[in-house]
Structure 1
Amino acid sequence: MKKSVILLLILIMILSMAGCKKKDNTEIKPTVTPTVTATPTPTATPTPSPTVKPENHDGEAKSKLTGLWVSKKVSNKRPYAIMFNNIKKASPQSGTSEASILYEALVEGGITRMMGIFEDLNKTRIGSVRSARHYFVSIADEYDAIYVHYGETTYATKKISALGINNLSGLTGIGDTVFYRDHSIPAPHNAFATKEGILKGTEIKGYETEYPKDYEGHFTFYDKDTNLSSDKNVNKITLKFSNYASPYFTYDSKEKLYDRFQFDTKHIDYNTGKQLAYKNIIVQFVKEWNIDKNGYQTMDIENSEGKGYYITNGKKVDITWKKNEGTRKMRYYDAQGKELTINPGKTYIALFPNDRTEDVVLSDIGQ
């Protein structure tokens, strides 16, 4: 009996040890938290900036009249200064929009006359062309221009001779070559020049057609369109030359140009049907008076100085000017006394009596 008990106890101990061994040999696996791999946010591919190609101006040069790029052949040409009739029954004129610079000044009887400075001639009909005035002769000389006119006063004849101006006059033997009459228009308002005639007349006269190498040009230009630092807004300019002639300009803020009106309507070019428009407006105040009983005008611009306005891009600044006819130089200056820099483009210049500055009306009429 004792043996049986002892054997049973031994058996129980063996089974217990076997159970503990089995338990100790069981592999306990750790709980593993699965790793979640984040989906990468796709990187946006940058849009390449458009390549700005440098402007190619091979074979070109800056115009001495507009500051714009033109062919070197054109940039080296001497300009033509052409006199334009400017009365109502002779309007609209032909070719005025081709002029790089357009001058306007009083002549006798309260009417104005215009002179266009042409860098190149494209149209065949230019005019109507009228007679010379001595102050326009002096201005033409500033540009080393060949002066084109049909008739002249004795004052103009003397000035042409004194300054040695190359000119093409309708009242000389060259007249029929350069000009023709449009008989549908009453004389003397019907004389027109042609491109072919002007070039032929220049050839016959043997005039030099290129600038002298020492010619410096009339203006200094910005490289690109530039707004004036000014608090004076000008959206309308009225020039009350007389009761007969009161042209005005309105500012087109979209085009950044001043559109010209006269005789209560748009001032258009007969050749194109388009309105005259200018990037730059210069009002040059001059001392002006009657030179004789016929009402012919004269002005102090030979060796003189004065004041004025420069207007562009809807703004105005005050300027001064100085001219020395002996050196052929006419220069404009800003308020700091530095030579005026103007925007590239076409320019209109009014020679206006300095004792009537109130008749130049500048308005900010809004857009």
Structure 2
Amino acid sequence: MKKRIHYIALITSILVMTMLTMAGCKKNKENEDEASVTPTVTSTPTISPVPTEEVENHENEVRSKITGLWIPKENGNKRPYAIMLNNIKLASPQSGTKEAGILYEALVEGGITRLMGIYEDLNEKRIGSVRSARHYYVSIADEYEAIYVHFGETSYATKKIKELGIDNLSGLTGISDTVFFRDKSIKAPHNAFATKEGILKGTQTKGYSMEYSENYESHFKFYEKDTDLQSKELAEKVTLMFSNYASPYFTYDREKKQYNRFQYDKEHVDYNTGEQLVFKNIIVQFVKEWNIDKNGYQTMELENASGNGYYITNGLKIDITWKKNESTGKMRYYDAQGNELTMNAGKTYIALFPNDRTSDVVLAGNSQ
């Protein structure tokens, strides 16, 4: 009898547990159904990141007086060097041209052009070939308080150097072997080259100051950021037909926003690096120019003069004017409103071009 009672109790316990389990499952099912109809969502607010402009650190840098680019502070007050560079086809490519912050080009005798680089810092062991001075280049070097480096000079240049009191390193003086060397694989007179070490030693030997004077004012004004001109005049190819012999041209690289230089129907490269010369800015300065004697030497009206020109950057061109006062060494460019020209920071090419042949400066592209 007791076994039967125990058996019934066991069966009853099992039934009760089964019923409780089913009830629990039903309850969970109801909770799940309810949750599916009215879910409870706990969300965390999303905070969008605020973009921050990267701040450049120029604590130990200053703006270059030559290019407007940031340079080490210790170089900011150093006088530049103005170096005369051969530009005939036989002497191409030149060495060290890519290091120049500003590159000038002008006619000399016989339809050829000569270059002059304004160097803020010398980085090359081979610069040149270096050629003889011309008096209008002496005047331009004076605009920058530059130390003028040349191998030879005309009588007109000698007179101008003395007149303006220009510090110069000449290959026809006793410091020639200090500053220059001859590359015997190249025919003279196209084989004289300068070195950084030699130029610095020559400067020390001559006792020239290596810093700007206290009252020197930067030759140019520069934008803080890259700026497009307010112009509709395209200048994506610039050709300067100095003569039948020399007609350099530039093409604009839209992606890099710079001008690539060509001459003698090919890329104009630097012998030291093999890289093409590139410029951010192009200035065409129209000048009154004529033969000074029967030898075909050129002269220009630059002493106390003014004129017109073009400023070209970022594929566009504007008209400008210029004024020079040689007694103060100042040369300034102005926009159409008469404001001093503001330029984009970077390397600049400047052509001194005859003002009676403005049509020989050809700009590609029509008005936008």
* TM-score, with structure 2 as normaliser: 0.88
Distance of 1:47 and 1:259 partners within structure 2: 43
The answer to whether the 8 A contact 1:62-1:68 is kept is yes
**Is the 2:84–2:116 Cα contact (8 Å) retained in structure 1?**
yes
Query: How far has the Cα of 1:41 moved from its partner?
Result: 7.7
Partner in structure 1 of residue 210 of structure 2: 209
**Partner deviation per Cα, 1:223-246 (whole Å, 9 max, x = no partner):** 111000001111100000000000
Distance, in Å, in 1 between the alignment partners of 2:366 and 2:193 is 38
Q: Contact between 1:303 and 1:325, CA under 8 Å: does it hold in 2?
A: yes
Provide the secondary structure at the position in 1 that maps to 2:83: strand
Once the 2 structures are TM-superposed, how far is the Cα of residue 44 of structure 1 from its aligned partner? Answer: 6.1
CA contact (8 A) 1:59 1:72 kept: yes
Q: What does residue range 272-351 of structure 1 map to in structure 2 within 5 Å? A: 272-351=273-352
Q: In structure 2, what is the equivalent of residue 129 of structure 1?
A: 130
| Aligned-residue offset at 1:365 | 8.4
- Quote the residue 2:81 is aligned against: 80
What is the Cα deviation at residue 53 of structure 1?
4.0
How many residues are aligned here?
334
State the partner residue of 1:269: 270
In structure 2, stretches of 5+ residues that fail to align are 1-33
Corresponding position: 1:68 with 2:74: no
* Aligned 8 A contact 2:233 2:366 in 1: no
Q: CA deviation at 1:48?
A: 2.0
Could you tell me the TM-score, scaled by structure 1's length?
0.88
SS in 2 for 1:122: coil
The residue that corresponds to 1:189 in the other structure is: 190
User: Which residue matches 1:165?
Assistant: 166
Structure 2 partner of 1:120: 121
2:130 is paired with a residue whose SS is coil
Counterpart Cα distance in 2 of 1:286 and 1:58 = 41
**CA RMSD in angstroms, aligned pairs only:** 1.8
Alpha carbons 1:282, 1:309 under 8 Å: kept: yes
How far did 1:320 drift? 0.2
2:177 alignment partner, SS class: helix
Q: Secondary structure at the match of 1:89?
A: helix
SS in 1 for 2:55: coil
Deviations 1:223-281 (A, max 9, x none): 11100000111110000000000000000000000000000000000011000000000
In the TM superposition, residue 42 of structure 1 has moved relative to its aligned partner by: 4.1
8 Å Cα contact 1:134-1:157 kept in structure 2: yes
Q: 1:9: which partner in 2? A: none
Tell me if the contact between 1:236 and 1:365 (Cα under 8 Å) persists in the aligned partners. Answer: no
Identity %: 73
Give the drift of 1:56: 1.1
Match of 1:136, SS state, is helix
Q: Which runs of 5+ in 1 are unaligned?
A: 1-32
Who is 2:149 aligned against? 148
Q: Give, in whole Å, the separation in 2 of the partners of 1:322 and 1:166.
A: 24
* Equivalent AA in structure 1 for residue 361 of structure 2: V
Q: State the alpha-carbon separation in 1 of the partners of residues 291 and 219 from structure 2.
A: 28
- Counterpart in 1 of 2:236? 235
Contact 1:267 1:276 in 2 (8 A): yes
Q: Equivalent residue for 2:225?
A: 224
Output the amino acid matched with 2:157.
A
Task: Give, as a single letter, the amino acid of the residue that structure 2 aligns with 1:86.
Answer: N
